[in-house]
Amino acid sequence: MISQLRILQRQLLPQLNFHCLKHTIDYSKVPKINECDLTEQFIRGSGPGGSAVNKNSNCVVLTHIPTGTVIKCHTSRCQDDNRKIAREMLIQKLDEMLNGENSVTAQKKRAVNTKYKKAEYKKKKMAKIKEEWKKREGID
At residue 91, does pLDDT exceed 50?
yes
Q: Cα dist. 129→41, 47, 122, 133 in Å?
A: 61, 53, 11, 6
Largest Cα separation within the chain, whole Å, is: 74
pTM of the model: 0.68
Mean pLDDT of 68-92: 92
- The confidence score (pLDDT) of residue 2 equals 53
Angle between helix 79-99 and helix 104-137 axes, rounded to 10 deg: 80
- The confidence score (pLDDT) of residue 48 equals 78
| Domains in the chain: boundaries | 1-29+103-140, 31-101
Long-range Cβ contacts of 114-121 (<8 Å, 24+ apart) = 115/13, 115/16, 116/12, 116/13, 119/13, 119/15, 119/16
For 60-76, the pLDDT digits (tens) are 999 999 999 999 999 88
Angle at 46 between CA 45 and CA 47, to 5 degrees: 135
Angle between helix 104-137 and helix 2-11 axes, rounded to 10 deg: 10
Range 31-101 classified under CATH 3.30.160.20: yes
- The confidence score (pLDDT) of residue 9 equals 53
- The confidence score (pLDDT) of residue 50 equals 76
> Is 30 in a helix, a strand, or coil?
coil
For 111-128, the pLDDT digits (tens) are 999 999 999 999 999 999
